[in-house]
């Protein structure tokens, strides 16, 4: 076996350049040229050889490109299948109220919930609750999309046996709802959070008696309104039998835009509308004073906190 002098990229197994003995396209083309024209030597046939070499080289490059693309596609598909499939692991340690580490070193954040951060009220209790739920146990992970956050942690709906840990955290008052949440899980998440809030568990301990709810949110400008913040509003309702003093309370979104309530008391069975734009405050309407939109049209979360910063209401939409 030796390399073709006219096209060194290809190996030629030949003896006297006979067509029958040549094993590559370039060699066969050159052999045929000499066989059809016995007077031709390698120099005379070299033009045909080089042309054949270029043709074959092009074919090889195209084939190589196809192979590479096919390989990359296969790897991407394999990665998508891997991320989409459920995964399992043994919990090594709990890091905080919604995050833990597996024995193989991977860190997992419970998707759809948010527990108090270190230093915040009920943070230590939330961490202990998660530890009781998953510590040292085998867990099954239903990965979200995306499957990892910016810190490289897996984002997952976590199961111990048939029980979902995420909803248990909500039901025990160790966390509140946080987008994104799969549509099929939203009703269970909302019910679990409301049960904890009504029972005054965990993060809701000091606000369970507050009878306020989100009656409506209008993120998009209303009919006939320009595409500006003036068409946005949130409606809160006092469904209790006692007046509700909202002075010093805050209304905020996921982007940390915050509205501070002025001196204001909401009468029993009454509603107040908080508009994003400019206007004059009345007994039924308050104005944020923003010149730009607050509430995202494609989804956001309404947070209501009392004058001590304690959560009263969390409503993702």
Catalytic residue (one of 117, 132, 145, 258): 117
CA dihedral 274, 278, 281, 287 (to 10 degrees): 20
Query: Hey, what are 166's tokens?
Result: 């995420």
Judge residue 224's burial from the number of C-beta atoms within 10 Å of its C-beta, 0-12 exposed, 13-18 middle, 19 or more buried: exposed
Annotation says 153 is catalytic: yes
* Helix 25-36 / helix 42-84 crossing angle, nearest 10 deg: 160
Catalytic residue among 50, 106, 148, 153: 153
CA distance 90 to 71: 33
Contact 277, 228 (CB under 8 A): yes
Q: Largest alpha-carbon pair distance within the chain?
A: 114
Q: Which of 28, 34, 109, 305 is catalytic?
A: 109
Catalytic site includes residue 109: yes
Are 127 and 203 in contact by the 8 Å Cβ rule? The answer is no
Phi and psi at residue 59, to the nearest 5°: -65, -40
Helices and strands in the chain, H and E counts: 5, 20
Asked if 310 is an active-site residue, the reply is no
Query: Do the Cβ atoms of 168 and 160 come closer than 8 Å?
Result: no
- Catalytically active residues are 109, 117, 153
């Amino acid at each position: 076996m030796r390399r073709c002098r006219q096209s060194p990229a290809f190996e030629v197994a030949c003896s006297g350049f006979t067509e029958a003995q040549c094993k590559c396209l370039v060699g066969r083309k050159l052999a045929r040229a000499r066989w059809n024209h016995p007077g031709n030597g390698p120099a005379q046939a070299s033009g045909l050889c080089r042309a054949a070499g270029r043709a074959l080289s092009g074919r090889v490059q195209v084939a190589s490109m196809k192979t590479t693309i096919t390989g990359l596609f296969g790897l991407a598909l394999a990665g998508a299948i891997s991320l989409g499939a459920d995964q399992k692991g043994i919990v090594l340690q709990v890091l905080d109220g919604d995050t833990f580490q597996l024995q193989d070193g991977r860190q997992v954040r419970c998707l759809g919930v948010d527990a108090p951060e270190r230093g915040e009220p009920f943070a230590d209790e939330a961490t202990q609750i998660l530890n009781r739920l998953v510590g040292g146990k085998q867990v099954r992970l239903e990965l979200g999309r995306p499957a990892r956050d910016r810190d490289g942690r897996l984002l997952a709906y976590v199961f111990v046996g048939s029980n979902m840990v995420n909803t248990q955290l909500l039901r025990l008052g160790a966390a509140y709802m946080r987008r994104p949440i799969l549509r099929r899980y939203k009703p269970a998440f909302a019910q679990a959070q409301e049960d904890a809030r009504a029972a005054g568990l965990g993060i809701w301990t000091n606000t369970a008696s507050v009878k306020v709810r989100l009656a409506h949110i209008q993120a998009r400008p209303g009919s006939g309104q320009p595409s500006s913040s003036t068409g946005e509003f949130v409606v809160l309702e006092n469904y209790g039998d006692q007046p509700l003093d909202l002075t010093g309370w805050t209304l905020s979104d996921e982007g940390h835009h915050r509205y501070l309530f002025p001196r204001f008391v909401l009468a029993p069975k009454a509603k107040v509308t908080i508009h994003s734009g400019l206007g004059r405050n009345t007994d039924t309407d308050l104005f944020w004073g923003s010149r730009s939109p607050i509430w995202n049209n494609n989804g956001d979360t309404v947070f209501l906190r009392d004058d001590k910063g304690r959560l009263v209401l969390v409503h993702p939409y």
